[in-house]
Structure 1
């Protein structure tokens, strides 16, 4: 079987520098490596996360040093397929919503929750659509 991402066991033993070579910042590389360690030692149980509601899952993931709300919500959306999640701390998503709604400034996290609520439970699909639209507009697709 092929995987789009390496297994946690493979990342747990990789040094931060190897992860940085893939284009991640030092902080993000450390967070990726530490999360992998916690998954391997089962202090973060991915199967248990699936049974938690979104707020509980975000709280559980945020206990890992370097994992904040944005990272945790992205795990819910991308890793657990929770399409009802819109990572509102994502600066690119803030810019995309600002452009979409013709806002004077970047929306706050709470404002993003209000703006995306009509799309519930598919906010995550809109997140990816906006991302892909921006990539297309920039010629990356």
Structure 2
């Protein structure tokens, strides 16, 4: 990483394509946590006492250019390092995808998505509260409405950075939600249960009882899943979604996901959706790559 002032580059692996990931990030016009303007990603991030707007672009497919626009004052090196770490984590740059691409070559379900989306990374949600909240918001509703709920939550309770007439939002912290009541969340216009679940999770995190570090210490996907499913409002689907997108457990596998079923049905041109037993049989070949297999299959639909 070569840092010059508030601009530097991050080298991505050869099995990375910036444009493919940009297409994925562009899939919803109602995304509220980053903006894409002229092939550049703008996102507000907070580290320690710093709130920064970060611009990410690419000089070529495997070299990311990072800039902190609108900031002339010095920024401490640990903060700049944290920005780089966030980007590497968000784009999952430290995972070697070669073994996944090798197994996908002859896999009847993965051949097509890997061919279509080569270079795509499992775009993460590095913040644990954001990942769990997104999982809760998305329960039993379509993706379009989930984005609407997220925007309501962010714009009602998050902080923002203004730059060149645009607002760039930060996801609410657990502390900002922990002290709220269900009535406070009525602006969300979602079920009382979901409001309760969000507040419960925020309180657990604000008290330090639920942390990313504790989940990672489980060092086993099933053990981490059990830790999450003990929390009210988090079932196996939400738990595996969080383990997949935030904790980066490679074997995280939301096997009951409707989108996964629809994608498999599409690839194999099936008359009906596959059974769980069928999916378990096919997925035996994906050992320790279940997370990426799911993500690539989802990409066929979303």
TM-score tier (shorter): 0.7 to 0.9
Secondary structure of the 1:2 match is strand
Does the 8 A contact of 2:194 with 2:233 survive in 1? yes
Does the 8 A contact of 1:39 with 1:46 survive in 2? no
Q: Deviations over 1:51-98 (max 9, x none)?
A: 211111111111111110001111100110123222112111122122
> Corresponding residue for 2:203?
37
More helix by share: 1
Does the 8 A contact of 1:86 with 1:123 survive in 2? yes
> Corresponding residue for 1:138?
none
Question: Is 72-81 or 101-110 further displaced after alignment?
Answer: 101-110
> Corresponding residue for 1:84?
251
For residues 95 and 48 of structure 1, do their structure 2 counterparts lie closer, same or farther at Cα, with a shift above 3 Å needed?
Answer: same
Secondary structure of the 1:134 match is coil
Give the C-alpha shift of residue 26 in structure 1. Answer: 4.5
> Corresponding residue for 1:72?
239
Instruction: Give unpaired runs (5+ residues) of structure 2.
Output: 1-43, 47-124, 131-170
Question: What do you get for the CA RMSD once the two structures are aligned?
Answer: 2.7
- TM-score normalized by structure 2? 0.39
> Corresponding residue for 2:35?
none
> How far apart are the structure 1 equivalents of 2:277 and 2:195?
28
1:120 paired with 2:287, answer yes
> How far apart are the structure 2 equivalents of 1:82 and 1:118?
17
- Of structures 1 and 2, the one scoring higher in RCO (CA 8 A, sep 6+) is 2
Taking the TM superposition and a 5 Å limit, the aligned residue runs for 1:14-25 are 14-16=180-182, 18=185, 21=188, 25=191
For residues 107 and 40 of structure 1, do their structure 2 counterparts lie closer, same or farther at Cα, with a shift above 3 Å needed?
Answer: farther
More strand by share: 2
Secondary structure of the 2:237 match is helix
> How far apart are the structure 2 equivalents of 1:38 and 1:13?
11
> How far apart are the structure 1 equivalents of 2:179 and 2:282?
41
Bigger Rg, which one = 2
Does the 8 A contact of 1:20 with 1:29 survive in 2? no
For residues 15 and 101 of structure 1, do their structure 2 counterparts lie closer, same or farther at Cα, with a shift above 3 Å needed?
Answer: farther
Does the 8 A contact of 1:20 with 1:26 survive in 2? no
